[in-house]
Amino acid sequence: MVSGDPICPAELMPELLADFRDFCLMRGWRVAFLGASRNHLDSYAAVDLRSLCYGEEAVIDLSGFTLEGRKNKSLRHAVAKWEKAGARMEFMFNASIPEHLKLELCQISADWRGDNPETGFSMGLGRLMSSEDPDCLLALAYDKEERPVGFAYLVPVYPDHGFSLDITRTSLDAGNGINE
């Protein structure tokens, strides 16, 4: 397993990859590059290495996003269901989440997991609402009684000024569709 692209002059990349591939194959090893850039995909393909996009999330361009259309039908229905039930959303940065709310959300998370250990995403922070992460964003759903029923915790992506999903949780009695 190689992390990232090999470091060498560009003109040496094809030869380096071929030699490395042969070295691994002679020993019965399988070759994998994790975090390889798109810049060298042709060089990888030239030595019969295939690329696989792994861990890249869906990117939503909010300026053109709509609930309309066939492809967003289930999302539109989930939103309508929760609006009809009197739910609302609130967004706040981690630095401004009140301590009592953090405790409630940690309880929702613990109930949701049950006896299962925290596994998270491959790129997850591994911590929830830590003071180390003031710029993380909380998307919080409340029911009509103003009780928290679910949340998504989002990590800032620099320098693009977007957010990546870190964790999502719902209370056990929330019903389906709240994540949408």
Residue 126 is predicted with a pLDDT of 76
Strands in the chain per DSSP E: 2-3, 33-34, 88-93, 137-142, 148-157, 162-170
Fill in the amino acid letter for 37.
Answer: S
DSSP string spanning 20-43?
HHHHHHHTT----EES--GGGHHH
The count of residues in the chain is 180
Question: Which of 134, 67, 66 shows the shortest CA–CA distance to 94?
Answer: 134
Q: What confidence tens digit (pLDDT) does each residue in 121-149 have?
A: 556 777 888 888 899 999 999 999 999 99
Question: Which of 154, 158, 159, 156 shows the shortest CA–CA distance to 169?
Answer: 154
Read off the pLDDT of each residue in 80-92 and give the average, rounded to a whole number. Answer: 91
CA distance 128 to 124: 10
CA distance 55 to 63: 24
Whole-number average pLDDT of the chain: 86
pTM here?
A: 0.66
Residue 146 is predicted with a pLDDT of 93
